[in-house]
Amino acid sequence: MDFGLPTLDPPRLDHRTRNGFLFVAALVAGGHSMRIPLWLVLIVAVLFVWHYLITHHAWKLPGKMTRLGITLVLTLVTLKYYGTLFGRDAGMGFLVLLLGLKFLEFRTTRDGAVIIFLCYFLMLGGFLFDQSLWVSVYMVIVAWLATTVLIQMVAPSGQSNRYRLKLSGQLLISALPLALLLFLFFPRIQGNLWGLPSDAYSGLMGLSDSMSPGSISNLSSSDEVAFRVEFEGQPPPPKQRYWRAIVLSKTDGKTWSQADRGGPVEHRFRPMGTPVFYTITLEPHNKRWLFALDLPASQPEGTQLEPGYVLRAKDNVVQRYRYSLQSYPWYHTGKLSRKQRELNLELPKDFSPRVKNLVAAWRANNLNDQGIIRSALDYYRDKGFTYTLSPPLLRGDPVEQFLFESRRGYCEHYASSFVSLMRAAGIPSRVVTGYQGGEHNDAGNYYIVTQADAHAWAEVWLRQRGWVRVDPTAVVAPERIEYGIDAVRRLLGRGTLLGQLDAPALLRALKLNIPAQVWRNMGLYWDAMNNAWHHWVLDFNQQRQLKLMQWLGFRNPTWADLAVVLIGGFMLFALVVTTIILRRRQGTDPVVKIYNRFCKKLVRTNIRRLPWEGPQDFCNRAIIAQPGLGKDIQSIINQYIDIRYRGENDKTRINRFKKRVYNFRID
């Protein structure tokens, strides 16, 4: 309706500002592009291009009905695709779509503000999916640019882009202390805010609770981190870095699995030597088992030791989990109960007679248990066994096939066949799986254990020593134990036979060329940074907030205490900022600094300059109060007046003034 009144024309935005908006929106939508369907990405891209044509090629903005139609259709399509418009995935997808649509009616500064705020919100939304350091850095940069565009919109002319970037950077940086305060003291709610579906962690790779040929070698190419370890003091040598997790005693000839519960509890042992102290940061694997060096002697809070000297969490580990414990690399486990003995001697009924015969031949040589073990290891060494990352598929009885025919295998083949041999010889034995080794990260001084470090080894029970670890893989591929899986992969990739080279030749062979070295170091640095990010930022939970509050002196911190700290912090921040602003103007002129110094000296004689007091007034007052110093005070202040108010501020005068103030003493 036209009432004959002048219409209030809202401020239009120029082309360059609009480009900024498009750029930021594209960055934000791009950040979500991996999580939303491709068709949605394309539609939003088309909408952006459309807006570009509108601004730069004088296309007309679509009319109201067109806009309404497009919005309705696309909303329905989105609804059809997701089944809903709410929730994490659908909600973010829908918002990205709306961001694109908003550009079809983007004319005024108000629309611009809506777009930027939508961008901020979408950036935050990105953290619902991914909170890694990389994403955070990206978000900070985009937030910086978005703020810059906002500044450009509000004050479009006059300043350069560099100035705007600087200004918005300053704004963000000055918000940092408040953000930190909120991060540290805003009440934290434990648990999943978004009610993730129960299968959210199903895609995680890692060990499984049983072992069959091929189950561990599958992991040999995965560089995904299993856990990180920090040692207190000297770390144990590589051949002692066996991280046990699962003890497998039952076998059907192919698959090894855990024994049923209910066996006699066997987690006491006699430690020998000195313990190793260390802290493990475990990546979530949605299982209960925790990793510990052979053999763990303590159970951190929330964990328990279970039969087989393995550590278990109370619940499945679905978040990064950090625990500290100690282990004894040397130990004596003592007697074996009858039930345990039977369990660890069990063989499938149709156990291969060929294998039995092999063992019987060793036994016939009148060998004791240790002799049998040595014979078995010699058998691996001398009969042409090789270590391979891609073992051939075994048909029939895998143990027999491996021992007599293929003779190519990964750790699980060696471990399972070795345990079978031992059991056939009447020596109680079992398979242990977990990880072996770990790469040292110099940047963060911790060890990274990846999925590729997954390993299986054997334990035999000897009367004199209890359970003893025997790793048949070490006979065939000593490099696996000494230099780790990465070295093995590289050696095998080059066709080198394992177990053939001496140490210097091996080191030569393993030496990386410079680019590879640089790449590797960068990877390690990145991992160290990520680890720090996780440790200091993402893993700051309610518990650690509680600890921080206790450190601040609250014995039993409540939400009210948090509020007190927050408000107090805000006030402190405001105070500090105000002081800085007030001081900044005074502090700039060196002459004023010298003068202030002089005034400070006079404070000792109880003459305190009032902030608003001019030099002459102050001089008169000081002389009356301290007639003895009158001459000095007069001449110093006169010098000051000459420099600052008569404008005779050449260097020699200032220096003379400085010296005079410096030499001014009150006895």
Partner 1 sequence: MHSVLDKALNQIGQIIVGNPQALRLALCCLLAKGHLLIEDLPGVGKTTLAHALARVLGLEFNRIQFTSDLLPADIIGVSIFEQQSNRFRFQPGPIFASVVLADEINRATPKAQSALLEAMEERQVTNDGETHRLPQPFFVIATQNPRHQIGTFPLPESQLDRFLMRIELGYPGRKAERGLLTGGDRRTMLSDLQPTLSGPSLLKLQQRVDDIRTSTALLDYVQDIIEATRRHPDFNGGLSPRAGLGLLRSARAWALMEGRDMVLPEDVQTVLEPVANHRLQANEQAATVADQIRSLSQSVAVA
Task: Choose the catalytic residue: 369, 397, 471, 632.
Answer: 471
Smallest distance from the beta carbon of 588 to partner 1, in angstroms? 10
User: Minimal distance in Å, beta carbon 530 to partner 1?
Assistant: 49
Strand order of the β-sheet with 276-282 is 321-327, 276-282, 225-232, 446-450, 439-441
**How near is the Cβ of 557 to partner 1 at its closest, in Å?**
40
User: How many angstroms separate the CA atoms of 26 and 23, rounded?
Assistant: 5
* CA distances, 598 to each of 608, 664, 667 (Å): 11, 8, 15
Residues at the interface with partner 1 (CB under 8 A): 586, 589, 592, 595-596, 610-617, 641, 644-647
The residue annotated as part of the active site, out of 119, 411, 599, 619, is 411
Please identify, using beta-carbon distances, which residue of 465 and 583 lies nearer to partner 1: 583
Long-range contacts of 52-59 (CB under 8 A, 24+ apart): 52/22, 55/15, 55/18, 55/19, 56/15
Tell me how far, at minimum, the Cβ of 646 lies from partner 1, in Å: 5
Task: Give the shortest CB-635-to-partner 1 separation in angstroms.
Answer: 17
CA 412, 458, 434, 437 dihedral sign is: negative
Q: Which is nearer to partner 1, 511 or 646 (CB)?
A: 646
**Whether the Cβ atoms of residue 146 and residue 112 lie closer than 8 Å to each other:** no
Cβ 178 to partner 1, closest distance in Å? Answer: 25
DSSP letters spanning 151-202? HHHHS-SSS-HHHHHHHHHHHHHHHHHHHHHHHHHSPP--S-TT---GGGGT
Q: Which of the residues 397, 455, 527, 619 is marked catalytic?
A: 455
Q: Is the peptide bond before 8 cis (omega within 30 degrees of 0)?
A: no
Residue type, 636: I
Query: Token digits for 170?
Result: 């300053």
CA atoms within 13 A on the CB side of 596: 11
**Which residue has 């000593």 as its token pair?**
478
CB closer to partner 1, 59 vs 645: 645
In sequence order, which ranges of 218-318 are alpha helices (DSSP H)?
A: none
Q: Which is nearer to partner 1, 161 or 616 (CB)?
A: 616
CB 595 within 8 A of CB 662: no
Nearer to partner 1, 553 or 611 (CB): 611
Q: Which of 398, 393, 413, 305 is nearest to 355 (CA)?
A: 398
Answer whether 420's CB lies under 8 Å from 401's CB: no
**Closer residue to partner 1 (CB): 408 or 644:** 644
Query: Checking phi first, is residue 553 left (phi over 0); if not, alpha (psi -120 to 50) or beta?
Result: left
Of 14 and 650, nearer to partner 1 (C-beta) is: 650
Q: What is the DSSP string of 11-45?
A: PB--HHHHHHHHHHHHHHHHHHTTTS-HHHHHHHH
Q: How far is the CB of 592 from partner 1 (least distance, A)?
A: 5
Cα 631 to Cα 15, 417, 430, 637, distances in angstroms: 68, 102, 97, 10
Among residues 105 and 642, whose Cβ is nearest to partner 1? 642
Compute the distance between CA of residue 454 and CA of residue 141 in angstroms, rounded to an integer. Answer: 38
Question: In whole angstroms, how close is the CB of 600 to partner 1 at the nearest point?
Answer: 13
- The neighbouring-strand residues paired with 459 are 430, 469
10 Å Cβ neighbour count for 334? 12
Least distance in angstroms from the C-beta of 608 to partner 1: 14
CB of 160 to partner 1, least distance (A): 28
Backbone angles phi, psi at 360, to 5 degrees: -60, -35
What angle is formed at CA 186 by the lines to CA 570 and CA 87, rounded to 5 degrees?
130
Amino acid residing at 552: L
Residue 411 bears catalytic tag: yes
Judged by beta carbon, residue 322 or residue 653, the one nearer partner 1 is 653
How long is the chain?
Answer: 667
Closest to partner 1 by CB, 561 vs 589, is 589
CB of 634 to partner 1, least distance (A): 14
Could you give the CA distance from residue 151 to residue 168 in angstroms, rounded to a whole number? 7
Task: Name, in order, each residue with C-beta under 8 angstroms of 614's C-beta and a sequence gap of 6 or more.
Answer: none
Among this protein's residues, is 332 annotated catalytic?
no
When the beta carbons of 67 and 593 are compared against partner 1, the nearer one is 593
Instruction: State how beta strands 330-332 and 466-470 pair.
Output: unpaired
Contacts of 525 (CB under 8 A, 6+ apart): 443
Write out the catalytic residue numbers. Answer: 411, 455, 471
